[in-house]
Amino acid sequence: MAGNESQDGRKTSALVRRAVCRLAQNRPLFFLTQRASCRTIRYMEHDTEPNIDRTPFSCTRDGLTIRGHVFRVARISGAAQTVATPATGAAQPTVEARETANRTAQPQNAAVTPQTEKSPVVIMSHGFLGNENQLVKYANVLARLGYVVLTFDFNGGGPKSTSSGKSIDMTVLTEKADLLAVIKYAESLDYIDKNNITLMGFSQGGFVSAMTAAGLNDSVKQLVLFFPAFCIPDDARRGKMLVMDFDPQNIPPVICKEPMIVGRNYALTAQKLDAYKEISGYTGRTLIIHGTSDKAVNIEYSRKAKSVYKNLVYKEIEGADHGFTGADEEEALRTLINFFT
């Protein structure tokens, strides 16, 4: 038994090293920057990697069209298929998985076809002002591990959103409704294991994913939260939400004009929520990763969530801000890969 555990550990460590090395030269996912007296969130976009099939999809919610992409590792005809052993309790990757995506193992001029076996699925949700393109790096990582990954734009969720809807109508509850529609779409795919769904969210998308998982509970096997914005209700009650400042007792019709229009209902809806009540009840396996120097979402919000999640892997990255770069991002990726394997 000890020998097998040691061998499995070496396989996982090698997988982590390869993934981090491949990503080390990429630009950061997103980071905070200062512009005049207003702090804004600046996002970086990434390209899909070779041999990851990225297929557009769309679904609807209340007459609005949600647009996104499905990421799947491509099968290399004639290539050896080996899989690192997942950790106990982790969602099981398919036999397509990991070594297939290792470029050094791919034969030249190999035929590439999408995988056809039923696979676990990860549905990713972007943050405030964001869009799905900012999640490509993480989608690539998990696709290489054998997961089908869905990314999408929330309706009105960011200035570059390709989905329908107006940003002035967007709230965390409209985004929850969008995520439920995407989950329903994922469950309709014949190559998806409906019993192996992971929700993964970043910042506001983390709060939305956590609320959604609490409502579905047993239907969501795993929950992954990167610097989840559990602060949103408190911020709305204070009248200071990232780039928005307003009187919380007399909220104007528009609370933000740039880089996108945000309406009164965004704040009003959040003011009525108790973040920890909204996310309570989920009993599945959960990962939270948060930086200790996060200026947008104080680390104390994630620390408090430790009392909510009983099956929790919790990771603080010392000195990291809202969004990870450099060594902080590599540490986050190692934690993510270990959680999924």
Could you give the CA distance from residue 160 to residue 84 in angstroms, rounded to a whole number?
37
pLDDT of res. 74: 81
- Is residue 226 within 8 Å of 199, Cβ to Cβ? no
pLDDT of res. 40: 35
Q: Is the pLDDT of residue 90 over 80?
A: no
Q: Domains in the chain, please, with CATH?
A: 2-340 (3.40.50.1820)
Could you give the CA distance from residue 215 to residue 213 in angstroms, rounded to a whole number?
5
pLDDT of res. 75: 66
- Is residue 211 within 8 Å of 176, Cβ to Cβ? yes
| Mean pLDDT of the chain, nearest integer | 82
Between the two ends of the chain, the Cα-to-Cα distance in Å is 18
Q: Is the pLDDT of residue 95 over 70?
A: no
pLDDT of res. 313: 98
Average confidence (pLDDT) over 285-309: 98
